[in-house]
């Protein structure tokens, strides 16, 4: 009899169900946005943070200076070293200046792309190269990344605030919904106490009703939200569906787990308060 409710509670579960469904839907969207932003930032950081572009200005001895830089890079923890060929530079310029522009007489610099290995930092590389070739100029993705990080951090806090608001709203809604259920069943609860039921026994009757309700509705909410995300992703980018790795899975786990835990906690908290009143 442990998992079978003794009292067939027929309380209006539509309102409670809708609250759970709607919260799970919003929580999944929010959690997905949060997880996705954090993962994207981490990916950008991993892929771009250590990249550096070294430009040796056009001069008569730029070949010699380039040799010095290359030797330095090869012996000082740099990898993926790539010297841009003249055709590659011309190709890049053509996009800006048009194909009719004569680039043959342009004083093109030597451009070297490299990536600092884990043990080295971009600052170390810059300092070393500047000593060898004082005229060398550098550009890295650090500035852009800083901006991206700011956006990601802001987004992260916005998501956390949204989740917190959702949790609070859900908790309050469940608390009051549970309270009205208990009020509606106060006579039955009183009779159960008189017949010798413990508060835990009575609580179990309600939990056995609320758990399937929470599971069903939070599941539906999460599935609907997933479909929205998948559809959105498909519209934006048909090949990747906007999703990287397990972002979606994590979001569903967070939203589902969160909604169910909050629903049960709020209901149990409410029940405990309510039953204390009857217990004596």
Partner 1 sequence: MIIELKNIRFNFGSHHIFKSLNLKINTTNLYFLTGANSSGKTVLLKLLGLQLKPSGGQILIDDKVVNYNNIKELAKLRQKIGFIFDEHKLLTDLNVFDNIALPLRIMGENERKVREKTNSMIEWSGLKDKTRKMPNELSSSEQKLISIARSIIKRPQIILADELTKDLDSQTNQRIMLLLHELVKQNTTVVLSTHDHTWANNHKQPILIIKDHNVHLS
Which residues in this chain contact partner 1 in the complex, by CB under 8 A? 1, 6-10, 187-188, 191-199, 201, 279-280
- Min separation Cβ 278 and partner 1, Å: 10
- Min separation Cβ 177 and partner 1, Å: 19
Count of other CB atoms within 10 angstroms of residue 164: 10
- Min separation Cβ 277 and partner 1, Å: 12
For partner 1, give the closer residue by CB, 146 or 277. Answer: 277
Q: Which residue has the tokens 């994207």?
A: 40
For partner 1, give the closer residue by CB, 110 or 192. Answer: 192
For partner 1, give the closer residue by CB, 153 or 272. Answer: 272
- Min separation Cβ 26 and partner 1, Å: 34
For partner 1, give the closer residue by CB, 197 or 242. Answer: 197
Q: Which residue has the tokens 């890049």?
A: 92
- Min separation Cβ 248 and partner 1, Å: 42
- Min separation Cβ 215 and partner 1, Å: 23
Contact status, residue 51 vs residue 115, Cβ threshold 8 Å: yes
Contact status, residue 29 vs residue 228, Cβ threshold 8 Å: yes
Contact status, residue 79 vs residue 152, Cβ threshold 8 Å: no
- Min separation Cβ 280 and partner 1, Å: 5
């Amino acid at each position: 009899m442990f998992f079978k409710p003794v009292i067939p509670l027929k309380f209006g579960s539509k309102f409670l169900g809708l609250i759970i469904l709607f919260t799970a839907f919003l929580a999944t969207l929010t959690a997905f946005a949060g997880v996705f932003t954090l993962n994207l930032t981490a990916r950008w950081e991993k892929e771009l943070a250590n990249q550096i572009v070294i430009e040796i200005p056009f001069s008569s001895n730029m070949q010699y200076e380039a040799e010095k830089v290359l030797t330095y890079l090869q012996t000082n923890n740099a990898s993926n070293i790539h010297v841009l060929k003249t055709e590659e530079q011309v190709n890049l310029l053509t996009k800006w200046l048009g194909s009719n522009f004569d680039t043959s007489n342009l004083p093109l610099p030597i451009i070297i792309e490299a990536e600092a290995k884990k043990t080295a930092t971009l600052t170390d590389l810059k300092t070393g190269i500047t000593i060898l070739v004082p005229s060398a100029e550098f550009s890295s993705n650090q500035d852009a990344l800083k901006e991206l990080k700011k956006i990601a951090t802001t987004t992260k806090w916005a998501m956390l605030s949204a989740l917190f608001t959702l949790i609070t709203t859900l908790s309050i809604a469940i608390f009051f919904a549970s309270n009205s259920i208990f009020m509606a069943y106060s006579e039955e609860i009183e009779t159960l106490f008189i017949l010798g039921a413990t508060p835990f026994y009575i609580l179990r009757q309600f939990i056995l009703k609320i758990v399937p309700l929470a599971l069903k509705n939070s599941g539906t909410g999460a599935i609907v939200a997933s479909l929205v995300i998948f559809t959105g992703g498909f519209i934006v980018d048909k090949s990747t569906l906007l999703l990287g790795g397990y972002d979606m899975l994590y979001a569903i786990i967070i939203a589902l787990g969160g909604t169910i835990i909050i629903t049960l906690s709020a209901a149990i908290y409410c029940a405990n308060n309510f039953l204390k009143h009857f217990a004596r």
